[in-house]
Structure 1
Amino acid sequence: MTVTTAKKMTFEEYLTYEDGSDLRYEFNDGELVEMTPTTVFHNDLMMFFAFFLQSEINHSNHPYCVRVNSTQIFTGKRTRRPDVLVMTLAQKKSLGNQPDILHEPCLLVIEIVSPTCRSVDTVEKRKEYAQFGIPEYWIVDFLMGTFSVLSLVNGSYIEKVYREADLIASDIFPSFSLSMNQVMASI
């Protein structure tokens, strides 16, 4: 739901906006877009990916870190708060003690498709993340039983869809082993 204000808000005003509620918002070209609360199932999947990826990072000694539904990405006119993202440690350090918003592409974004926001997760964000230059975008669609890995090539995503026992391939994490069956069994 978009919250309309008397005048459009600047990005700087968004950074300090407080309405006294526990609601979370994304910024969309001067307007606030309320984020709907996640389900337990959705939260379980986010935590599974966070632990799985952090284990892979630790095991492979990658200079990366994982964020779960907290770090935002400012794509120019709007912010997005991915379910899970992976950024470099240098990006994390550059944030310092300022708002947890990246102004440059992170390495990987994961979105778990919400039944009420299917086109946002599979169409809108796909276009935005590609234009912003995020190298890899995973779309987990538990209703369809699919796991899509989108790799950025010449400004557009090339999509590979995985099902059931297919082993998922990632350019960011080339040595990991995961299937959609394992994802579904984790919850």
Structure 2
Amino acid sequence: MVEFNPYHIFWTIIGISIVYIFRTRLLRLLQTRDLLLLSSPPYSSLLAGNSYDFVQDEIAGDLDRKWIKEHGLAFKIRGTIWEPKVLYLADPLGVQYVLETRGYGFHKDESAKIGRLLTGRNLLGTEGPAHANQRKILLPGFSQSVLKELVPLFIQLSDRLASKWNDLLLTQTSITVDVRSWLSRLTLDAIGQGK
């Protein structure tokens, strides 16, 4: 009869953990091997990587412009310690290549899978043929001719929003505007009044 030893369980858990960590690191290296040739800005936090730098950026976009000037239109940035390195792409042709030409050839990160669990198989959470089918259904509504017809509506609604913000500023000496909330309302108005 085999004798029960608690150390066997302990060492089994340690062994499985080491194999899991090694496997995760190897997969991450394979997924990001093409990024090895790209330059990378220094990061100020070992745990948060460049994410911390983005949070500390006082004026949105200043850090982006600085890095683009230093590293070019394509470079890698480091996420948090448990995230892989990420391609930062500011080249319009590169973005077009990723989004249109080879959109299905790029790996979606774990957040897409988590989003799928939370919201179901929506346009952002699906991949492959299901995503292509959903996109084919939605694309006619975003054609250039349809969007041109909606420009006057967008201008009208934007003017109305600017007028409301001006009215708020005239009635108070100091005000904090929740832009996200107002833009959500603007979006709903546009959807409701659109054709």
The verdict on a shared fold, with TM-score over 0.5 as the criterion, is: no
Between 1 and 2, higher relative CO (CA 8 Å, sep ≥ 6) is seen in 1
Structure 1 or 2: larger strand share?
1
Give the structure with the higher percent helix: 2
User: Normalization by structure 2: what TM-score?
Assistant: 0.27
Computing the radius of gyration from Cα coordinates, the structure with the larger value is: 2
